[in-house]
Amino acid sequence: MALQALGSLRGQRSGDSRKRGGTPMTAHRRSKSVPPKVWAGVVLVAVALALLPFVAALAGQAWVRILNFAMIYIMLALGLNIVVGFAGLLDLGYIAFYAVGAYMYALLASPHFGIHLPFWVILPLGAGLACIFGVLLGAPTLKLRGDYLAIVTLGFGEIIRIFLNNLNTPVNVTNGPQGVNLIDPFRVGGFSFARAESILGVPFSGPQKYYYVLLLLTIGVIVINIRLQNSRLGRAWEAIREDEVAAKAMGINTRNVKLLAFAMGASFGGVAGGIFSATQEFVSPESFGLFESIIVLAMVVLGGMGNIPGVILGAILLTLLPEVLRSTMEPLQNALFGRVLLDAETVRLLVFGIALVAIMLYRPAGLWPSAVRKRELEVPKVVAE
């Protein structure tokens, strides 16, 4: 074995290793200039994303709304991915944080209490409150794993929904099963994102305007996720997922790191909930049932747990697939049999179920599983022997 001239192993704190030996660490990877091909790709994708709502509108405004929903689900799935994919904590009650964010927005921007705060105030508040709820759920479940954690989180999700359903007496907080109506859309000054209008001669519908807000937020959430994953904290999450005992033995404070996973995941759910409230202009407890939690979990698992592009793909597919089936099944049956044998909703769930089973059988790690993150080091090689 080569004896490396490393000097003493002891006594080197992280900061000073750069100063040693007169070979300053080059800011590798970042210092490389971005090749023009990559720039061209980025521009192309940006143009495509900018034009997408107009392309979708050719098939009807409903498809623009579906795109918006896809982005809300991307945010939810990425938030859940922090808890399930990175930290390996199975959470079946994730939708509760979505509900917290949605109701936060609904109550602070509707005639229900007569409060009308602007969205840029409520969204951070909603994220913060969801964050607190994340810690509230995380704290008592720190010692649980796997099935046991799943059961407790499932209960938590249901508790939140039942609270929302029943908090209309003795003091009417949530308006119970009727939900909250007439929620304010996003507004900046006199500019409302819900109103159709022409901007510079181009006609924009409400959903098309929201599309751009959602696009920005989604990109923000994606960037934050990527950065979290490739950080000291992200590695600590993955260490806990891989082996909690070893993670502890390596000095990771698993309690704090797990709570951070719950808190971060929940805050994304809170933001997504706020936007959901604003785009729908109506919320009720019905939107936050167990089935929603399971759909979001399915997005994470099918896409590829722990892999950000995979999770995004999962969210898009599972949002679009049911809609595509809904719009094709009846015409298809009419063409084949001359009449509708099974109504679209039934076929939709059937095909959906079959698709899930097939993916789990043939691609158990998800459609786009995570690969090894290669790190190209430019560490000056120590001369061996």
Partner 1 sequence: MSHLTLLIAEDVSKRFGGVQALADVSFTINHGEIYGLIGPNGAGKTSLFNVLTGIYAPDGGTFNFDGEPLERVKPNEVAERGIARTFQNIRLFQNLSALENVMIGRHVRTRAGVFGAILRDKGTLAEEAAIEKRSYELLEYVGVAKRANDLAKHLAYGDQRRLEIARALATEPKLLALDEPAAGMNATETQALKRLLEDIRRDGITILLIEHDMKLVMSVCDRVLVLDYGKKIAEGTAAAVQNDPKVIAAYLGGEVTLNLKGA
Per CB under 8 A, contacts with partner 1 among 264-323 are: 264
Residue 123 vs 295, nearer CB to partner 1: 123
Stretch that binds partner 1, among 21-29, 75-83, 93-101, 146-154 (CB under 8 A): 21-29
| 217 is a contact residue toward partner 1 (CB under 8 A) | no
Alpha carbon distance 370, 327 (integer Å): 33
**Helix or strand (DSSP H, E) at 298:** helix 290-304
| Residue number with CB closer to partner 1 (144 or 226) | 226
Is position 13 an interface residue for partner 1 (rule: CB under 8 A)? Answer: yes
DSSP state of 21: G
Q: Is 21 in the site for partner 1 (CB under 8 A)?
A: no
Q: How far is the CB of 376 from partner 1 (least distance, A)?
A: 9
- Residue 327's H or E segment, with its range, is helix 308-337
Of 207, 190, 261, 109, whose CA–CA distance to 253 is shortest?
261
Q: Which is nearer to partner 1, 186 or 268 (CB)?
A: 268
Shortest distance in whole angstroms from residue 228 CB to partner 1:
5
Segment near partner 1 (CB under 8 A); pick from 104-112, 118-126, 248-256, 275-283: 248-256
**Residue 33 or residue 198: which is nearer to partner 1 going by CB?**
33
Q: Is residue 30 within 8 Å of 169, Cβ to Cβ?
A: no
- C-alpha 49/C-alpha 214 separation (Å) is 12
State yes or no: residue 31 binds partner 1 (CB under 8 A): no
How far is it, in rounded angstroms, from Cα 195 to Cα 184? 12
Least distance in angstroms from the C-beta of 82 to partner 1: 11
If binding is defined by CB under 8 A, does position 135 make contact with partner 1?
no
Q: For partner 1, which residue of 96, 233, 278, 297 counts as binding (CB under 8 A)?
A: 233
Closest CA to 239 of 128, 88, 385: 88
Among 171, 273, 168, smallest CA distance to 217 is for: 273
Amino acid identity of residue 295, one-letter, is I
Please report how close the Cβ of residue 144 comes to partner 1 at its closest, in angstroms. Answer: 18
Q: Is 11 left (phi over 0), alpha (psi -120 to 50) or beta?
A: left
Q: Is 10 in the site for partner 1 (CB under 8 A)?
A: yes
Please name the amino acid found at residue 268.
F
Instruction: Answer yes or no whether residue 9 interacts with partner 1 by CB under 8 A.
Output: yes
Residue pair 141/258 in contact by the 8 Å Cβ criterion? no
Q: Does 146 bind partner 1 (CB under 8 A)?
A: no
- Least distance between partner 1 and beta carbon 14 (Å): 5
Contact between 108 and 120 (Cβ < 8 Å): no
Name residue, tokens 């927005």. 105
Does 236 help bind partner 1 (rule: CB under 8 A)?
yes
* CA 10 – CA 3 distance, rounded (Å): 16
CA 127 to CA 258: how far, in whole Å? 18
Position 232 contacts partner 1 (CB under 8 A)? yes
> Is 335 a binder of partner 1 (CB under 8 A)?
no
CB nearer to partner 1: pick between 48 and 250: 250
Near partner 1 by CB under 8 A: residue from 171, 202, 361, 379: 379
When asked if residue 78 is in the footprint of partner 1 (CB under 8 A), the reply is no
H or E element that contains 348: helix 344-362
User: Site size for partner 1, by CB under 8 A?
Assistant: 53
Where does this chain bind partner 1 (CB under 8 A)?
Answer: 1-4, 6-15, 17-18, 25, 27-28, 30, 224, 227-228, 231-236, 238-239, 242-243, 245-254, 260, 264, 372-375, 377, 379, 382, 384
